[in-house]
Structures are given as structure tokens and as C-alpha cells.
Structure 1
Amino acid sequence: MGTRRSVSGGPDGRDVDEAVLWALFSESPIGLHVMDTQLRLVRFNTAARHIQRMPLDDAVGRHVGEWAGDFYDADLEAAFQGVLETGRPVTDLVLRGHAGTAELVISLSCFRLRDADGRTLGVASAIVDVTEQHRARARLDLIYRAGASIGSGLDLVRTAQELADATVPDLADTVVVEVLDPVLRGEAPPPGALDPTTPLRCVGHCSAAETPDGGIAVGEMTGVPYATPFSQCLADLGPRLVARLTPDVAWLAREDVRGRRMLDAGTHSLMVVPLAARGAVLGLAHFHRRGTAAPFEADDLAVAAELADIAAVNLDNARLYTRERSTARMLQLSLRPAEVAGHAAVETAYSYLPVGSGGDWFDVIPLSGARVALVAGDTPGRGLPAAAAMGELRAAIGALAVLDFPPDEVLSRLHDLVTRLEGEHQAAQGPRGGLVSPGATTCLYVVYDPVSRRCVVASAGHPPPLLALPDGTVEYIDVRPGPALGRSTADHRPVERELPEGSVLALCNSAVFRAGSDSPETRLERFSRAMLPTTRPLQEICDGLLYALVPEGEEEDDAVLLLARTRVLGPGNVASLTVPHAPESAAEARAFVERQLADWDLAEHSFGAALVVSELVTNAIRYSGGSVLVRLVVDGSHLVCEVSDDSSTAPHLRHAEADDEGGRGLHITSQISRSWGIRPERQGKTIWAELALSDAAL
């Protein structure tokens, strides 16, 4: 028995050996089995009798395979034989068995027995029940694995399903995750008792069974009857354990849906845990065991509650994201044009494919002289900051467009505005503050004149427009993209094209422009296939183009596409007259207006139009030095009167006193016209006034 040494004044070594041997077989808490070389049981200690699933009555003299129950397998036999042959002990061999529906785990160590002469007598095994340690380790492993898999994204339904998938079958046979219906809209009721009619909607479900499992189907909505584990769980946010679920449980009668289905499926044990985070009640999860599975225990409830807490935080993150995204989406839609009104210069169609809640936008802005501005822009980021930045930029562009600045000057002024706003935001919120990163804010500004058929394009870092000509040619308009708004120095050089009638312009954001390919040639080929022929209805072309360029499943950002088919205003809508720099030119211009409106069957409007034109011509002759151009344009339900001169000095509206001899020209114009303004030209300026031709146009 190892080294024996007597200690002076202590017990004899032989007495110690006998005491140890007696204690091993009568007092030791570790089960001990002694077997001969044929692995037949020779002797066992008292603790060995308490090892479940190892019946030792009449076991002496029998082979280990006859009394070791379902712990016996080929690995155990090989371990014993290896010890007998080599003498090397085996430690911590894990064996599994079952006691009813419960799994048992033991740790076995064995060593060879020899006599004083070195002859092998057999093998001894020491067994420790490690079932509880194994279960605790398994629970920790489950929490670790599930915690890593739950919350992989910001989708509420996906997060709920991840909780269900992570716990079946390791913790339960069936798991159902239900959330309060308002949570799906980003809302959350406060803690407290809920009305029994409060709807819960199933958003996650997983089952290990192939047959109906008694759960609630995903998407199904149910109420929460009073005085059930479900209502109590939501009321006090405490988990509930129903270890033995039997048909005579009183509350089952009140649970028409859940109770009946659980009993039909054979559920015999139930756990209900709340889903709550940051003071918001989100819903609940319930775990079922059926068939031969062991009933849930308190430790199982603790695991379920911890996993529910992990899931609840991620569900609340998804809820908050849903709320912000919905708010941003509503803000976006409110800031985008609700509908694009018809225009004499172009026919328009647009398509919008929302994926995130980004800051992409477009606009169609009527300008003076029957012209139109087409705008597309992109602000970086998502959510409320991007939507707010988009609203700021769209409002600024609308204000600048009304001033009739050319495209390059509009972008230059917008560049200055973005730079200033970003500086203010950074000063208020720190170096990383600000609504938007100005270096990535892009804009494309296009102005089309249906009289001259001139199209002027300027870009601030935005993808160029595509042009589909009536002859079937599709090409990029070769505009040099200047720096993005707020980056570097403003340098947005415009390019001018003359377009035939029926040409189609396509303005899009970068998500559409770069979808599917980084090659300009490949993108152009895809655009050509989707846009031609251009004689089709414009909305049909627009929708087909968007979905051809951004196939389902490849959406990464909001996709915005605006198409405009050009129109031309000919002699039936436009007339002009150049008058000399002479006092009598005002009368000549007045006669021209009266005569032209009579030719257009608009004689009833000749008085007001002639008065406006004569006042504007009078001012032009007084303050300029060259000839004056008078132009009339019929734009649908409006008549536009334009007077151009070579002076760049802009007049100002003022209110003349009763004894003043002049100063009433612009005042009369503003009173008679629907709107008026001043448009800078390459040489001089144009003063225009728009008169309504019908009451509906007022």
C-alpha cells in the first residue's frame, strides 16, 4: 500500500493501512468497485450502492457489463482492459446513463491491482457523480452560445427567432416568442398589469417535433387572459415555472388558445419568462417540454430568464431602430415632393425603392420662362440626421432655384451653405458632430428650356444623368463632377446640350447608378436595355429601369430614379419682338402683345398683359442703353411675359408716394401678375411676369 513509515509516538503503519482500507469501503463518498482480471465484480464499497443505474444486488461475481447498466459501453471495456495490460491508470473518463427521463453523468478513474510479487490481481474503479456539474457547465455553454447568436441584426422578428432557435432542443422541445403588437411599430407600453385584450403577436417559433407542437404560429395574434402564468409574467415581470402541467390545472380553462394546444401536443412542463428592457415591456417567451423529457427545474428557469434578458435588450434595440427608421421614413416622405406636378417643359415619372432610411431625394422645380429644374441629391448616413439634412438641402435648393441662378451658381451657393452649416454643427457638438458629413453630400442640378431646347447640367460629386435620344442612342451627359458639397473649393463647371424633342433624361442616386457593376460600359449597356424603346409610357420605363438595375435581394440603400421626357414649345406657344431703345417702343410692345394674344384666342387677357409689358419696357428703356427683347410664352394655364435688356442692374420693388411721378412699374406688375422675378442672363437681365389664364391657375 505504498511507502509505509511509522512515526514516533504515532500509530503503527499497519494500523493506518487497515484504517484507510476500512474507510475506503465504509466511509468514502466516492464509489469504489474492485474487479478481477476477467472484469468480474469482487468487492464494492458503501458509496457504490448509491450510484443510480448501477444495481449491485447479486452483482458480485458478474461481469461489469451485467451490472453497469447503460453506463457500460465499448469505451469502458477498452479502458479497463488497457489498465490491466499496461498498468497506466485512467482518470476522469466521462460516462453517461439515464434514470428515467433524466440524464446521469459520472466520472470514472481506474487503476491496476497487484500483489507483493507483482502479479496482476484485477482493476479498481473510483466513480464520482458529476451530473450537477455537467448540467451547470451545459447551462453556461448554452448561455454563451445563445448569447453569441442572439441579436445578429436590428430586425425584431429575426432576433426573436434567434432566441427560439438557440434554445431548441438544448433547453426545451418548443419555444414561442410573443411580443406586444405595438412593439412591432416601435412603441412599448409601460410596466404594469395589461388589459386582457392586449394583443400579443408571435414573432418567433421553433420546435424539435415534426408533429404539431402546441405552439403559436408566427404571425398569429392572441390575447392575454387574466390570472394565467402569461398575464402574471407580464404584470410583475417575474418568470413563471409550471414544473408539472396537467389537464386539471385551473388556469388552462381560461387559456383557450395556448392551453388547448399545449395539452393536445402533450406538453407536461412549462416556463414563461418576460421580455423587458430599459423599463419597456416587450412581450414574453414560453418554453415547453413534452413526451419523455424531464420536467423543468429552477435552474432551467434561471437559464431561460438570463437568455430572455439578453434577447430583450436586442429586441429593444431593434424596436428603437424600427421607431427611428419609421420616423425618419415619414420625415423623408413628408420632405420629398408628394407628387410631381405636370409641366409644359417635360413629362416626368419617378420611382422610389426604400431600403433604409437614407437621405436620397429628387425634385422637379418650375422656373421662369417655362423652364424646369431637375434635381437629384444624396446625403450620407441613415435615420433622422440624414432625413433632416436632406430637408435642409432641399429647402435651400428650392430657395436658390427661385432666384433663377444658373446651375453652377446654385451648386456654388449650396456648397457655401453646407460648409457653414457643418461648421456650426461641429462647433455645437464637437469635432464629430453635425447632421451630415459634408464631404459625401452630392447633388445634380439640370435646367431645361423647352423654347431653346437647351439643357444645362452641373454636378457636385453626383453620378451624371443618362440621356436616351429618340434615335435609340443612350449615353452619359459628359459633365465633370465637381467636388461634393462642403468639400474642397467649389468648382462645378456646367455643360450644355441641345436636346431633340422626346429625349429622356434619367437622374438617379448612386445606389441605382452603381448597382450590379463598377464598369461604366456595363452600366450603360444595362441602362440601354431597360430604357429602350423610349416611346413607351414613361412610368413603365421608370419602374422597369429601377427594378432591372436593382434586382431583388441586392438592395443596399434607398434607390431613387427620376425620368424626364423633353417637350418643345414652338410658334404656337412662343412669340417675340425686339424693339429699339426709343420712348415710342412701349406703345409698339403694347400693340404687339394685344395682336399676339388675339391670334392665340386670348384677347380677354390682353389688357393686363399689355399693361405689364409696357411698364417693363418703359423701365428697360429708361435704365438700359440698347434694344429690348419682348417675349410671350404660353405655358399651359399661364402666360409668361418677359422683357430683356443689356443692363445687369436689377430694379427693386418700391411703393411710390401719391405725388411721385414714377416708380410704379414693378408695383403694377406685382399686382397684376401671379408671380414675377428677375433672371440674370449672360449679358444683362430678364424681368418676367406670369399671368394666370384661368381661375384654377391662380
Structure 2
Amino acid sequence: MGPSNPAGDAEPRPRGGSPLAGVAATRGGSPLAGVAAALLDADGRVVWWSRAAQRLLGWTGEEMTGRPAREVLGEVPEPGDPTAGRRVRLRHRSGRVVEADVRVSGADGSAERLVLALAPDEACGWDQDRDIARALLAQDGIGVAQYDITGRLVRTNAAMEALRPPGAGEDWLVRLAARDGSGTAGAAFEDVAATGVPLAGGVYEPVPAGGSSALSLSCFRVEDVLGTPRGVMVEASRVAEAGPGQRIDAAYRGAFEIGQSLDVVQVARDLTRVLVPGLGDHATVDYPEDVLEGRDPAPGYPGQEASAPRRVAVRTSEGAWPERLIQVGEAIPRVAESPEIAAKFVGDVLVADAEQARRILGGDPERIARFLPEGTHASLGCPLYRRGRFFGYAAVYRTRGATPFDETDIRLMHDLCARTATAIDNAFRFAREHQTAVVLQRSLLPPAATRSTAAETAGFYLPAGGSVSVGGDWYDAFDLSSLRVGLVVGDVVGHGLEAAATMARLRTAVQTLAELDLPPDELLARLDDLVRRMQVEAEHPDTVGGSCLFAVYDPVARTCRMASAGHPPPALVTPAGEVAFVPLAPGPLLGVGDHPFEVTTLTLPPGSTLVCYTDGLLGRDVAAGSERLKADLAELSGDFGSPASLGEAVLARSPHAENPADDITLLLARTHAVPEESTAVWEYPADLAAVGDARADVRGRLEEWGLDELVFSTELIVSELVTNAMRYAGGPVTVRLVRDRVLVCEVSDPSSTQPRLRRALVTDEGGRGLFLVAQLTSRWGSRYTTRGKTIWTEQDLPEGPARPR
């Protein structure tokens, strides 16, 4: 709530100078600002309504413009009427009656009238405020000071003068510093004058600390009847220092704030906020390098040589941390071994007076100045120990008064440090589990970049940051039969080691099912069955599940078939730079069951890029995240040649990648195509006489490709497979050769019966065909198609000019 400005919008408040000068610059007190005014036309309708009229009667100018004035003001007299200057009863917008002195003025040659209204108590209101201010200044129980809007001290009472320290100047009050470190009293007075929000019971102290005690200050803004700020009124009283019991109780209540964060540095800051002012005037916390670097300290006494402590948190009740003391981030200088120093590492609370503290530091004045705050008369130190491990050291110093630390203080210090050490240990346990899950997950993911005949891929995985444990996101890219490539991206429900273990089982299952050459929809159906069995085995079934996208790209046919189990659709970037999301029909999440999955088939030109991801890349607002990803891909796709560089650029632009709230997985695949001159296809009727034609066609094409070394083996393979197809499956039979990094031979027939390799007996007349095929090839297998099945084989190409690049 800011102060009102009768003259219009307030200008920016300048900084600097007098603490209240900024408010003075925004205020212009005008005596007419409180006079309600309305301009009426010849028909008695309102054509203009002032802000003061709105304050007096509640009606806005928009509501009154065009309305008859008599509805609010009653019958308005003419300017020459003797009743034009009388007191009348006006109707407020709320329905109540408002009395006001009304004046009516006219102009020569115009029928318009100006109506002015002034509440009868406006003239004496400021005098009443002055009476109240005079009463405040006259009392002697509370110190009172009045400042005008420029920050000049107007007057004080005797009680305030009694609070002024000896020899202090007139500005002593505004120079006091807040005990909580929020700033000076002058800055607080300025904020009160600017906003009108009062200050209640703020504790302020002299800087540097002197003999005077702290004061409790309250401040409120003083305004005139027109609402114009005229200054501030300040009340002050001495702060009664809390007794030992109150101080200890406050410190124990503050201890509940320790350990709310998994950040070990924040835990140290929480401890210093309790130590000051709970136990003393200065506090420090130091950590060994092991803790700062995320390594769990070794158990037992580390010794001085094994630890390199560094200051991580400081706090003082006397303003800024003194420059001569060791600052945050600085290494702690070594101190000669002594019983007191050894006690610091083995768990004892060290209590020392000023003389003992100087002796422990070796009496070196320079070292003493670096370690001990000026005026130290007592110190209390305690190591941060948990489960036999040294996590750091905390110390608190008293520089005001001469009260030594007692047994109650020692117990409090020990309890606070034990709670802090427990919080650090909890943070390390979380860090260990998080790191274990990250290592496990990264070890299960494939290489970041792969290159094959079908596609060039690049994968990225960013674990969740902050207090969120690693999740179950994964990606994979692997070769399939006939030069095809399988692409998969998944997201497992939950976080932590259980999610990583679930991810490992699902990734292994996807690879196994993909090796069976199952179509994408059937693969997801089998994977859904597996997740449902895992839910039965799990202690909490709701924590097992997830989403998955599976795609298969064929570089010969240049087609991509994909299906989704509740996963976001991939983005497709064409070679021309156009970006669109694939129109998938997403099925249910894995584990729901009893729902089919649909396959989407795309024909991709060579050089297209599929961008698959998990929802962590989009953020909570999926629609906005999708539009941002689409815009980034459209802008970046033309500037980055490889999928790896494009993926890095996309993550660099993502607002969620720096400190992800959820795991982010990104898989990019740049598609390739096998040239048409490297493929050959023939179709034969179901006639065993056509087997010889198949051998002849294959022999001729291999000789054309310069693969004479593979003619014999390939003829035998084709002869066996085509003969079996014609004998047991009928026709037509299709033979396809593909020359790339390997020679692929495919024989397709209309039967859905899968072949089975078996060992023939000596007396058997057949059954050795597939055994011979297996001996002549590097890999072989079969897969279902929409019109039957395909048996495929792969043979390594000989080294030489016939091997394509």
C-alpha cells in the first residue's frame, strides 16, 4: 500500500540523502486536494467528478458522469440562491448520510455550475492530530521523536533524550542497526514514510557496540487531513535482555530450523543463525575439504594433516563480519598440535576464556587477530561428529559483557552440533544414494553416440537436481535385422534406486523382445505384461509403471514404424528444416493392461531427424514446453550438423536443464538410406523349378557387385530357403539382396510358421538346411510381416573395393 498523491501518479522515489527525502519528493500538499468538487451541465447532470468527491461520497467519476446530481447531492441551488452556501445532508454510496458545507459557483455566459463540498470537521482535524502528537511528546515513560518528511528531526521528548548515549549526535537514532541484520533504523523510517506500513517492536543496537543497550523501536507515518504524509513518529524503549532461561528456550526453538535443507553449506548457516544471538555475539562453522567436495569423511581421528578445513559460514550481531577475521571460503591456518586442538577432533566441547584462547593459538598476535573477534572474553567450540566421522567444527564467541559460558550453554552447544552433524550425515546419505543411482543408471545406458547404416544417434541424460533423487528415464538405440535400427525412450515412475532397477529390467526386456523382431505394438503389449507382473511382486504396486516410445526405422524402405505407451510424441525435423510433432495415437501407460497399442508409419526422407525425449525436458507446462522445443528445433536445426551438437544446443536453451526438477532424457536420430543400386528384389511363383532361376538371379547380381567370393555360399542359402518356402508355405516367394556393411539376403513367404533349427539324426533324409544356413552366415533369423514371415541372413563382406563405404 503506497501513499496517495493528489496531484497524480507518483514519480520514482530518489535514493540517498535524508532517509525521508524520497517521500518528500513524491508529495505536494495542496489545501484544495481535500475539497470535493463536481461540475454540472445545464440539465444538472454531472460532467466531471473529482477524486476528493469520490473519497467523500464513495462514488467514482465513471459512476457519476452523466447522472443527475440530485440523486446524490439533492436539489442543487442556483449560484445566486441564498441557500447555495448552506450545510446539507448528502447520500454516501454505502447508504449512510454525510454532512458537508456546499458552495455553488457559476460562470458568466454559461449554464454550467461548479459545486464544492467540504466536511465540517476537515478544518479541525489537523489540530486534533497535533493535540495527539503533543500528548505523546509530553509523556515521559516512552521516548518519542518526530521527523518531518525530509528526515529532519523536529522534536523529541525528555524520555528520548535520556536514551541518547553520551556524546552522540543528533542523528544517533537513525544510525542504529537492526539486530537481525536487516539494515539501519533510518532505512526503516524511510520505508515507513514511503509505504505507510508501520514498524512494530524492531530491535536496534549501536554500531559498533558500545555501552548503551539495545532499543525497541516502533514507527508510524503521520499524515494530514488530506492524506499527505508529513513525517514519521518514532517510539523507543530499552530492551530488557533475556534471561538465561529465555535465551536457551529461544535457541532450542531455533534448532528446529537446522537440517531442513540437504545442502551442507545451508545447514552450517542455519547453525550460525541459532548460535547468534542464542549463545554469543560471533559464530563460525568450518568444514574439511572432504565434506565440501562431497566425500564421506573416513571414520576415526583424522589428524590435522589429513584434513584441510575451510570456513563455510559466519554470523555476527555487530553488523558486517570484520574484515580482519577469516572470511567465508578461506582456508583455516594450521595451529600447533595441543590437547585442546586434539579435543576438537575427538568430540569434546572446548570452553576457553580470552587468555586460554590466546595460548591455544600460540600467542601469535597476527594469528590471534585472524581467529578471535575483537573484545572476545569467552569462546565455546564443538566438533560436528556423527557415527565416528568428523564433519566440521563450530565455534561461538562472546564479546559483550563478561558472562562466561556455563553448563547449560555447554549442553546447548553440544545438542546443536549433534543435530547439525546428523543433518550433514543425512545429506551425505542422500548424496550417496543419488550418486549410486546415477552411476547405476549411466552404466545401463548405451553409448552417447552411435552410427549405423540406418541412422546416426546421440543420447543425453541429465539426472534431477536439488533434493529430488535420480529417476528411471532411459534411452536406447540398437541394430536390428536387415540393417534396421530400434529407438526407444522410456520414463519409469518414481525416483531412487528402485526406479533405476526397474528401468534396467525394462531396458533389458525391450532389447530381448526387439531381437524377436516383434512389431512395435506387440512389443509394447509384451512389455505391459511384464510391468503388470512386476506390480504383483512389488510391495507398493502403484510405484511400478511408466511410459515408453518404441520405433523401428528401415533404411531400405525408408519407413519408420512407432508406437507409444503414454509417452510424448517425438518431434520430426525434415532436411528442409521444417519441424512438427509426429501424430501418434498414444496408448495407456505401462502397467494399465487390457488396451491395444497403435502403430504409426512414416516415410522419412534421408537426413530427417527424430527427436525423442522425456517429459522433464518440457517442464510442468507441457503445452508451453512443446511449443518452446518446436521453436528451438526450427531455429537450431540449420546451424548444427550432427545430432550430438544439435542436442547440446537444445539442452543449452532449455530452462529446465541447469537444475532439473525431473530427469531429462533426449535421443536424436539422423536417418540414412540405402541407395537403390545396392538392393535387388525378385518374386517367384510356388514352383520348385523357379529355385534355379533364383540362384541364377542372385549369382548375376553378386557378380555385378563384385562379390564373387560370396556367390557359392549365397546360392546355397537362397536355394535352401526358397526350396523350403515353396515346399511348406506356397507362393509367391520374394527374394531380396541388400549390399551395405554386410550382405543381407531375405526370403519372404505367406506362411506364419517360424522355422526352427534342429539337429538331424544320421538316418534322417532332411532337416539339415537351416543348419547349413547357420554355418554359412554371421547372423540369421526370422520375423513376422503383415503378409507372412521373412527369413533373413547376414554375411560379412570381403575386404576390397566391392565393400561399400
TM category, shorter = 0.7 to 0.9
Matched, 1:385 2:498: yes
After superposition, the Cα gap between the structure-2 partners of 1:410 and 1:521, relative to the gap in structure 1 and judged at 3 Å, is closer
Give the aligned partner of residue 307 of structure 2.
199
Matched, 1:506 2:601: no
Matched, 1:187 2:300: no
Matched, 1:538 2:643: yes
Q: How does 1:211-610 map to 2 (within 5 A)?
A: 211-215=322-326, 217-218=328-329, 220=331, 226-235=337-346, 237-245=347-355, 249=359, 251-253=360-362, 261-262=370-371, 269-277=378-386, 279-289=387-397, 294=402, 297-298=405-406, 299-356=408-465, 357-425=470-538, 429=539, 432=540, 436-438=543-545, 441-514=546-619, 518-519=623-624, 522-523=627-628, 525-533=630-638, 536-551=641-656, 555-610=660-715
Please give the alpha-carbon distance, in whole angstroms, between the structure 2 residues aligned to 1:631 and 1:481.
34
Describe the SS at the equivalent of 1:687. Answer: strand
Please give the alpha-carbon distance, in whole angstroms, between the structure 1 residues aligned to 2:403 and 2:702.
93
1:198 Cα deviation (Å)?
2.0
Structure 2 residue corresponding to 1:640, chosen from 738, 744, 747: 744
1:314 Cα deviation (Å)?
1.4
Structure 2 residue corresponding to 1:155, chosen from 247, 260, 263: 263
Q: Quote the sequence identity (%).
A: 34
Amino acid at match of 1:212: E
Give the aligned partner of residue 4 of structure 1.
none
Amino acid at match of 1:506: V
Residues 147 and 310, structure 1, Cα contact 8 Å, conserved in 2:
no
Deviations 1:6-54 (A, max 9, x none): xxxxxxxxxxxxxxxxxxxxxxxxxxxxxxxxx9xxxxxxxxxxxxxxx
Residues 177 and 204, structure 1, Cα contact 8 Å, conserved in 2:
yes
Amino acid at match of 1:229: E
Amino acid at match of 1:660: D
Query: In terms of mean alpha carbon deviation, does 283-292 or 308-317 score higher?
Result: 283-292
Amino acid at match of 1:301: I
Residues 230 and 272, structure 1, Cα contact 8 Å, conserved in 2:
no
TM-score (norm 1): 0.74
Describe the SS at the equivalent of 1:482. Answer: coil
Residues 617 and 656, structure 2, Cα contact 8 Å, conserved in 1:
no
1:609 Cα deviation (Å)?
2.8
TM-score (norm 2): 0.65
Residues 349 and 542, structure 1, Cα contact 8 Å, conserved in 2:
yes
**Higher relative contact order (CA closer than 8 Å, sequence separation 6+):** 1
Residues 358 and 368, structure 2, Cα contact 8 Å, conserved in 1:
no
Please give the alpha-carbon distance, in whole angstroms, between the structure 2 residues aligned to 1:225 and 1:667.
80
Query: In terms of mean alpha carbon deviation, does 482-491 or 502-511 score higher?
Result: 482-491
State the Cα RMSD in Å: 3.9
Please give the alpha-carbon distance, in whole angstroms, between the structure 2 residues aligned to 1:147 and 1:648.
69
Give the aligned partner of residue 796 of structure 2.
692
Deviations 1:249-303 (A, max 9, x none): 2x434999987831697766432212233x2424232224376565751343333
Give the aligned partner of residue 774 of structure 2.
670
Please give the alpha-carbon distance, in whole angstroms, between the structure 1 residues aligned to 2:675 and 2:159.
107
Matched, 1:681 2:772: no
Deviations 1:363-395 (A, max 9, x none): 102111111111100012221111111111101
After superposition, the Cα gap between the structure-2 partners of 1:507 and 1:263, relative to the gap in structure 1 and judged at 3 Å, is same
Structure 2 residue corresponding to 1:145, chosen from 240, 250, 254: 254
Residues 530 and 544, structure 1, Cα contact 8 Å, conserved in 2:
no
1:352 Cα deviation (Å)?
2.6
Deviations 1:543-577 (A, max 9, x none): 11222233565631121111111111122322222
Please give the alpha-carbon distance, in whole angstroms, between the structure 2 residues aligned to 1:70 and 1:520.
61
1:204 Cα deviation (Å)?
2.3
Please give the alpha-carbon distance, in whole angstroms, between the structure 1 residues aligned to 2:340 and 2:524.
63
Please give the alpha-carbon distance, in whole angstroms, between the structure 2 residues aligned to 1:586 and 1:228.
96
After superposition, the Cα gap between the structure-2 partners of 1:258 and 1:484, relative to the gap in structure 1 and judged at 3 Å, is farther
Please give the alpha-carbon distance, in whole angstroms, between the structure 2 residues aligned to 1:258 and 1:320.
36
After superposition, the Cα gap between the structure-2 partners of 1:405 and 1:101, relative to the gap in structure 1 and judged at 3 Å, is same
Please give the alpha-carbon distance, in whole angstroms, between the structure 2 residues aligned to 1:325 and 1:386.
12
Please give the alpha-carbon distance, in whole angstroms, between the structure 2 residues aligned to 1:216 and 1:157.
14
Amino acid at match of 2:779: S
Q: How many residues align?
A: 577
After superposition, the Cα gap between the structure-2 partners of 1:331 and 1:667, relative to the gap in structure 1 and judged at 3 Å, is same
Please give the alpha-carbon distance, in whole angstroms, between the structure 2 residues aligned to 1:658 and 1:621.
25
Describe the SS at the equivalent of 1:662. Answer: coil
After superposition, the Cα gap between the structure-2 partners of 1:667 and 1:471, relative to the gap in structure 1 and judged at 3 Å, is same
Q: How does 1:70-85 map to 2 (within 5 A)?
A: none
Please give the alpha-carbon distance, in whole angstroms, between the structure 1 residues aligned to 2:666 and 2:534.
28
Deviations 1:59-95 (A, max 9, x none): xxxx999999989xxxxxxxxxxxxxxxxxxxxxx9x
Please give the alpha-carbon distance, in whole angstroms, between the structure 2 residues aligned to 1:220 and 1:605.
72
Describe the SS at the equivalent of 2:719. Answer: helix
Amino acid at match of 2:544: S
Residues 463 and 513, structure 1, Cα contact 8 Å, conserved in 2:
no
Instruction: Tell me which stretches of 4 or more aligned residues in structure 1 moved more than 6 Å.
Output: 63-71, 100-105, 221-225, 254-260
Amino acid at match of 1:642: E
Residues 617 and 665, structure 2, Cα contact 8 Å, conserved in 1:
yes
Query: In terms of mean alpha carbon deviation, does 538-547 or 473-482 score higher?
Result: 538-547
Give the aligned partner of residue 717 of structure 2.
612
Give the aligned partner of residue 730 of structure 2.
625
Give the aligned partner of residue 659 of structure 1.
763
Unaligned 5+ residue runs, structure 1?
1-38, 40-62, 72-93, 106-128
Please give the alpha-carbon distance, in whole angstroms, between the structure 2 residues aligned to 1:359 and 1:521.
21
Deviations 1:402-423 (A, max 9, x none): 0000000010000000000111
Residues 475 and 524, structure 1, Cα contact 8 Å, conserved in 2:
no
Query: In terms of mean alpha carbon deviation, does 532-541 or 345-354 score higher?
Result: 532-541
After superposition, the Cα gap between the structure-2 partners of 1:550 and 1:689, relative to the gap in structure 1 and judged at 3 Å, is farther
Residues 606 and 673, structure 2, Cα contact 8 Å, conserved in 1:
yes
Describe the SS at the equivalent of 1:152. Answer: coil
Deviations 1:446-484 (A, max 9, x none): 111111111111000000011112233211111111110
1:532 Cα deviation (Å)?
3.3
Query: In terms of mean alpha carbon deviation, does 253-262 or 162-171 score higher?
Result: 253-262
